[in-house]
């Protein structure tokens, strides 16, 4: 199993960015997928924050309150790819963004290495 | 949203020690409780799912217990590679919330 995120970078507040997650080694269309982020640095705010989950067909998508209305998740099963479009980015969206496969138990059993998003002027 | 609270936030231990980390949910999550290990600069790694089921490939010194609102992760004999941050996560409801983490440091 391989999960690889890409698309991170430096963006100004209010800007947009599109992250991609490409997988191999398993049948992508059989698994729900998630986005999780982790703020950099030290202290209590560096924990893991679940952002979104998308069903196998893409017909059902769930978002955390913190990103609903600004972030949009989609998938292309033919390309074994998951996407996260982030609009109206804020400084506190700065984080490492991970793509994670959903296990039947609801746990996340395979993760990518992450892609870093920095929102700064 | 279900709040997950871990204790302690950090602990110091020595190789060979027995370590127990607690996780409490603000409401029942049944057995939908998972544990992850994260090392600096790396993605989290699933250790235990369903409160007590060991993910394939995870050493048997890791074990999980609990149901409802109170859970524990135990490392029976701490090895050098176990120094890391551990997170619990509930998967009973969406959003799938995480605890704040417990950092296991070398004493």
pLDDT tens-digit series, residues A20-31: 999 999 999 999
Which segments in chain A show pLDDT lower than 70? 42-46
In this complex, which of A53, A103, A111 lies closest to B49 when CB atoms are compared? A103
Q: Tell me the shortest Cα–Cα distance from B55 to chain A, in angstroms.
A: 8
Residue A70 Rama label (left phi>0; alpha psi -120 to 50; beta): alpha
Whether residue B43 and residue A53 make contact (CB cut-off 8 A), yes or no, is: no
Interchain contact B101–A (C-beta under 8 A): yes
Quote the pLDDT of residue A44. 46
pLDDT tens-digit series, residues B15-47: 999 999 999 999 999 999 999 999 999 999 999
Residues in chain A within 8 Å Cβ distance of B50: 105, 107
Q: Tell me the shortest Cα–Cα distance from A108 to chain B, in angstroms.
A: 7
Average pLDDT on B90-101 reads 95
3-class secondary structure, A4? strand
Distance CA A36, CA A3 (A): 13
């Amino acid at each position: 199993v391989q999960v690889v995120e890409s698309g991170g970078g430096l963006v100004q507040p209010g800007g947009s960015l599109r992250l991609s997650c490409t997988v191999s080694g398993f049948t992508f269309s059989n698994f729900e997928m998630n986005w999780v982020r982790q703020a950099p640095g030290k202290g209590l705010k560096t924990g893991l924050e679940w952002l979104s989950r998308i069903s196998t067909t893409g017909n059902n998508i769930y978002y955390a309150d913190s990103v609903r209305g600004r972030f949009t998740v989609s998938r292309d099963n033919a390309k074994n790819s998951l996407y996260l479009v982030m609009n109206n980015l804020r400084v506190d969206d700065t984080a490492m963004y991970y793509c994670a496969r959903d296990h039947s138990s609801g746990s996340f059993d395979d993760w990518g290495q992450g892609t870093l998003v920095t929102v700064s002027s | 949203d279900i709040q997950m609270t871990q204790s302690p936030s950090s602990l110091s231990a020595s190789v060979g020690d027995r370590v127990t980390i607690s996780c409490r949910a603000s409401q029942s999550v049944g057995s939908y409780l998972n544990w992850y290990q994260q090392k600096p600069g790396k993605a989290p790694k699933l250790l235990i799912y369903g409160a007590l089921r060991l993910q394939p490939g995870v050493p048997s010194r890791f074990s999980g217990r609990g149901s409802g609102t109170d859970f524990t992760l135990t490392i029976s004999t701490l090895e050098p590679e176990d120094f890391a941050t551990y997170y619990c996560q509930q998967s009973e409801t969406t959003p799938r919330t995480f605890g704040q983490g417990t950092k296991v440091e070398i004493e």
